Structure 1
Amino acid sequence: MNAIEKRIEELYRFAPCSTPPEDHADFWNRTIEEALGSPFPSSRTAIDSLMDGAAAYDVTYEGFAGTPIRGTLMLPAFKSGPYPCLLTFPGYTGGRGTADRYAHWLLMGVAVFAVDVRGQGGDTGNTLDSEFGMTRGWITQNILDPERSYYRAVAVDGLRAAEWMAEQPELDRSRLGVVGGSQGGGLALLVSAAHPSIGLTIADIPNMCNMDHGVLHSTGSLSEVADFGRRYPERLPEALRTLSYFDLLHMGERIEHPVLMSVGLKDTVCLPEQVFPMFQAIASVDKRLEIYPFTGHSVEAEQVRKGMKFVRDRWLGGAKPEEETRG
């Protein structure tokens, strides 16, 4: 056994200490009901995709606390539908980008619904009010109140994005999935666990997993919570309790459909000690973790290709997928 193999074996055995709050199930039942229990306003308008054979639409729908969430629906109009569709979320501070960014999916005949995350790098704002001071970034907004926290807001936003996607007449409701990296990977897993229409997930280097470990060690968005705890040490237990509602380790048993994940062993943002336990927690028997020993916080081009093959094999009549549970 070499040092790389030893490290991987240790990570598969790594045991997190995170525990869910006692009312975790009730909290998520309320959140899902708030997101999906009644209709919400939405609109879509045709826009120029700049690509022959691709149709694009600017989408707006109402998210948590009345925030208008912006997205783009893209269809591979060079062929007839109904189309399989992937909902995609950006990484932290990013936005949904333009339609050409998703050309590889469209050329496969897969539609894409790309959405912003409130307040970050897209053109979506944030009408969520705050009752306590924030540190840098967005993560600590209302972190002392799970019901009004930033993570609950983006959870409702993400669930409504999946619901809007499922209602579009051009899309095949039996082939709806979600994809993202980093923050987007975490939101992909969250929506996969909480929305019944999602049947396939690609979550690269996902955040929001084993979050107390991330608060202690991560150099990424969870370091904002560490900064909050440094400034307000007496409030840290409350902040960590709020995070525990959104720690995806406690939702993995809800994910039973095909899942592809990736991890970089040199990642200091979404650490391997966060990703490996999440992979183990997922209930699906059709799951795979791709391991990149020399990769930091990035998604390699090879992983993008593996994601395309993952979708092709399960949705587009490709080779029969092997049932593998370890990368």
Structure 2
Amino acid sequence: MFVDLPLPQLREYRPERAEPADFDGFWRRTLAEARAHDLAPEFTPFPTGLTVAEVFDVTFAGFGGHPIKGWLLLPRHATAPVPCVVEYQGYGGGRGLPVDWLLWPSFGYAVLAMDSRGQGAGGWRRGDTADPYPGTGPQTPGVMTSGIHDPAAYYYRRLYTDAVRAVEAARAHPGIGPVAVGGASQGGAIALAVSALVPDLACALLDVPFMCHIRHATQITPEYPYAELAAYCRAFKDQVERVFETLAYFDGVNFAARARTPALFSVGLQDGVTPPSTVFAAYNHYAGEKDIRVYPYNGHEGGESAHVMERVARAKKALG
């Protein structure tokens, strides 16, 4: 079933943003703290037998200098620096295995697939990066409420910072040229944040992005992961406003208003996980060049293989 506003209303849906006064300062300080640690990127050759790509096991310093894992796949036999897409993971997933990332090398591009700290045990793609940050307090199962009592302690501060550092790690490799970012769901949310925090990206591929218009999302969908926030607010009734004050620092609509990276969004009109109005809220606030693909009879899976080809076409336009 269609789960939200009619499409003509969605295309005009541009809600007011709840933005902290020190949003920009918060993120400047956060990234400066991270950059005080040596990025120290390591690219260790990883034997796979693949004929299309050369694979490297990647480690770099993310938030707090913590070691973050990833895979870098370079098209085999490339003789000059090649464009790279940095890909971020959906909720609960990790970097998986190199064979999960053959799409971009098949088209002649590199890909750096960043692991998500503390995730990757959700049963669909394994992760290899711990989250050593201490003192996050009580939380609902999952990561949505980890450290939510304080923006400085909140999980997504660490994850978004890791994502910026992943772009820096990709650029540190001599075989990499221009860089784009992409992801779906949580990965789309991360790529949206990075599109605002890193000013000189080639493009952003933002599919059914999560973490947008967050308070509204908790009011119109019972689906997870937003349901984790509702469960936390049921348990801590006196902290509801504090919860959403924290989340305002991580809401995709606030990043969208600052983004100048050319972007391709996608949305499914039957998506109960990231409801269409939350996606359009970010899209309609997005300050850069933008386009969106709408899939009326799809849910959170978005446009599936048909949209994969849309992503490739958009990357080719931006990356050459």
Q: Under a length normalisation based on structure 1, what TM-score does the superposition of the two structures give?
A: 0.90
Q: Is the 8 A contact 2:87 2:183 kept in 1?
A: yes
Aligned residue type for 2:111: V
Q: Does residue 232 of structure 1 match 2:236? A: yes
Residue number among 297, 311, 314 corresponding to 2:315 in the alignment: 311
Q: Displacement of 1:85 after TM fit?
A: 0.3
Task: Give deviations 1:34-84, integer Å, cap 9, x for gaps.
Answer: 233552333221002331141110011222234321101110023322010
Q: What does residue 252 of structure 1 align with?
A: 256
- In 2, the alpha carbon distance for the partners of 1:243 and 1:184 equals 17
Q: Displacement of 1:33 after TM fit?
A: 1.5
Q: What does residue 62 of structure 1 align with?
A: 61
SS state at 1:245 partner: coil
Q: Is the 8 A contact 1:220 1:270 kept in 2?
A: no
Q: What does residue 49 of structure 1 align with?
A: 48
- In 1, the alpha carbon distance for the partners of 2:137 and 2:95 equals 29
Q: What does residue 134 of structure 1 align with?
A: 139
Q: Is the 8 A contact 2:218 2:230 kept in 1?
A: yes
Q: Displacement of 1:128 after TM fit?
A: 1.1
Task: Give deviations 1:118-175, integer Å, cap 9, x for gaps.
Answer: 1111111110112421111111111011011101011111111111111111111xx2
Task: Give deviations 1:191-248, integer Å, cap 9, x for gaps.
Answer: 1110134221001000111111122233122211111100001011111100000112
* Residues 131 and 138 (structure 1), Cα distance of their counterparts in 2 relative to 1, 3 Å cut: closer
- In 1, the alpha carbon distance for the partners of 2:235 and 2:22 equals 28
- In 1, the alpha carbon distance for the partners of 2:308 and 2:230 equals 32
RMSD between aligned residues? 1.8
SS state at 1:246 partner: coil
SS state at 2:157 partner: helix
SS state at 1:180 partner: strand
Q: Under a length normalisation based on structure 2, what TM-score does the superposition of the two structures give?
A: 0.92
The 5 Å alignment of 1:238-317 reads: 238-285=242-289, 287-299=290-302, 300-316=304-320
The 5 Å alignment of 1:88-237 reads: 88-121=87-120, 122-172=127-177, 175-218=178-221, 219-237=223-241
- In 2, the alpha carbon distance for the partners of 1:179 and 1:261 equals 10
Q: Displacement of 1:17 after TM fit?
A: 4.1
Q: What does residue 78 of structure 1 align with?
A: 77
Aligned length: 310
Q: What does residue 7 of structure 2 align with?
A: 8
Q: Is the 8 A contact 2:60 2:68 kept in 1?
A: yes
Aligned residue type for 2:90: G
Q: Is the 8 A contact 2:136 2:154 kept in 1?
A: no
- In 1, the alpha carbon distance for the partners of 2:232 and 2:182 equals 30
Q: Which moved more, 1:191-200 or 1:233-242?
A: 191-200
Task: Give deviations 1:246-299, integer Å, cap 9, x for gaps.
Answer: 1121122332232111000010111101100111111123x1100001111113
Q: Displacement of 1:307 after TM fit?
A: 0.4
* Residues 235 and 115 (structure 1), Cα distance of their counterparts in 2 relative to 1, 3 Å cut: same
Q: Is the 8 A contact 1:179 1:188 kept in 2?
A: yes
SS state at 1:147 partner: coil
Aligned residue type for 2:97: T
- In 2, the alpha carbon distance for the partners of 1:304 and 1:47 equals 26
Aligned residue type for 1:10: Q
SS state at 2:51 partner: coil
Q: Is the 8 A contact 2:34 2:64 kept in 1?
A: no
SS state at 2:229 partner: helix
* Residues 110 and 133 (structure 1), Cα distance of their counterparts in 2 relative to 1, 3 Å cut: same
Q: Is the 8 A contact 2:34 2:65 kept in 1?
A: no
Q: What does residue 319 of structure 1 align with?
A: none
Q: What does residue 38 of structure 2 align with?
A: 39
Tell me, which stretches of 5 or more residues in structure 1 are unaligned? 317-327
SS state at 2:138 partner: coil
- In 1, the alpha carbon distance for the partners of 2:104 and 2:42 equals 24
Task: Give deviations 1:100-124, integer Å, cap 9, x for gaps.
Answer: 2222210111000001111111111
SS state at 1:148 partner: coil
Q: Is the 8 A contact 2:116 2:159 kept in 1?
A: yes
- In 2, the alpha carbon distance for the partners of 1:180 and 1:58 equals 20
- In 2, the alpha carbon distance for the partners of 1:96 and 1:77 equals 21
